[in-house]
């Protein structure tokens, strides 16, 4: 059985899919140890909370101060063209910090999302799988090592200026190669919900 099939089967048996990882920050903004967290899925909330149509943030993705952030306030709607001018860090997920980005959470997008990602020095985005969506990344600054495949036993390094594509269903863990410099990258996904169709992966499972 493939990794993706096994995950799909386990989610089906459980009756409720898990949310992605918890944000590794306390409410005061300080860091806490990284852990895997299969939280109970309570369904996608209506984005009417933010006055837009689409998908709202859930409690697994918070601002850098530990509060939920209104992503729509960063976007200007010129009447069908939605612009984002502030791309600096405003929220975090799985040890990666992100700008507000463009997604179904702050635009009418239904099939695409894009944002800027920042990995801190020595940072690790814990092993996970993108379920049924494509990811393309343009690395702007720094170098990252992906450990990937069954058991994450393969490895590849990309550096600033590189672009790369991650296939759906591929287990991978992401490492900032530097202990002193941040990684910065533009991330595009064929999923307007960003990371709500991502599941944790146990490197020791195979």
pLDDT digits (tens, 9 = 90+) for 134-145: 999 999 999 999
pLDDT value at residue 15 = 43
What span, in angstroms and rounded, lies between the C-alpha atoms of 77 and 205? 46
Which one is predicted more confidently, 51 or 123?
Answer: 123
Say which range, 1-10, 144-153, 175-184, has the weakest mean pLDDT: 1-10
pLDDT value at residue 26 = 31
Tracing tokens 């992503």 back to the chain, one arrives at: 71
The pLDDT of 105-129, averaged and rounded, is 97
pLDDT value at residue 67 = 80
pLDDT value at residue 59 = 66
pLDDT value at residue 76 = 97
The pLDDT of 180-194, averaged and rounded, is 97
pLDDT value at residue 56 = 60
The pLDDT of 72-95, averaged and rounded, is 94
Do 116 and 123 contact (CB within 8 A), yes or no? Answer: no
Hey, is 6 helix, strand or coil? helix
Which one is predicted more confidently, 55 or 182?
Answer: 182
pLDDT value at residue 57 = 60
pTM for this predicted structure? 0.73
pLDDT value at residue 62 = 79
pLDDT at 123 over 70: yes
First to last CA, the chain: 11
Q: What is the mean pLDDT of the chain?
A: 79
What span, in angstroms and rounded, lies between the C-alpha atoms of 190 and 206? 28
What's the CATH architecture for 3-31+45-205? Sandwich (2.60)
The pLDDT of 112-123, averaged and rounded, is 97
User: CB-side exposure of 109: number of CA atoms within 13 Å?
Assistant: 25
Tokens at residue 66, please?
A: 């530990």
What span, in angstroms and rounded, lies between the C-alpha atoms of 103 and 112? 6
Domain ranges of the chain: 3-31+45-205
């Amino acid at each position: 059985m493939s990794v993706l099939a096994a995950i799909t089967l386990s989610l089906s048996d459980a009756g409720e899919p898990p949310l992605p990882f918890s944000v590794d920050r306390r409410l005061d903004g300080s860091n806490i140890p990284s852990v895997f967290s299969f939280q109970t899925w309570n369904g996608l909330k209506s984005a009417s909370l933010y006055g837009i149509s689409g998908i709202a943030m859930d409690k697994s993705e918070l601002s850098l101060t530990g509060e939920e952030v209104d992503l729509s306030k960063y976007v200007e709607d010129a009447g069908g063209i939605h612009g984002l001018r502030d791309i600096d860090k405003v929220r975090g997920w799985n040890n990666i910090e992100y700008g507000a980005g463009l997604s179904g959470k702050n635009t009418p997008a239904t099939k695409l999302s894009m944002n800027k990602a920042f990995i801190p020095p020595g940072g690790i985005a814990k092993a996970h799988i993108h379920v049924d969506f494509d990811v393309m990344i343009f690395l702007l600054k720094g170098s990252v090592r992906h450990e990937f495949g069954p058991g994450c036993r393969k490895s590849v390094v990309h550096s600033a200026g590189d672009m790369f594509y991650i296939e759906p269903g591929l287990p991978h863990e992401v490492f900032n190669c530097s202990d002193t410099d941040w990684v910065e990258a533009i991330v595009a996904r064929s999923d307007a919900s960003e990371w709500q169709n991502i599941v944790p992966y146990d490197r020791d499972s195979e």
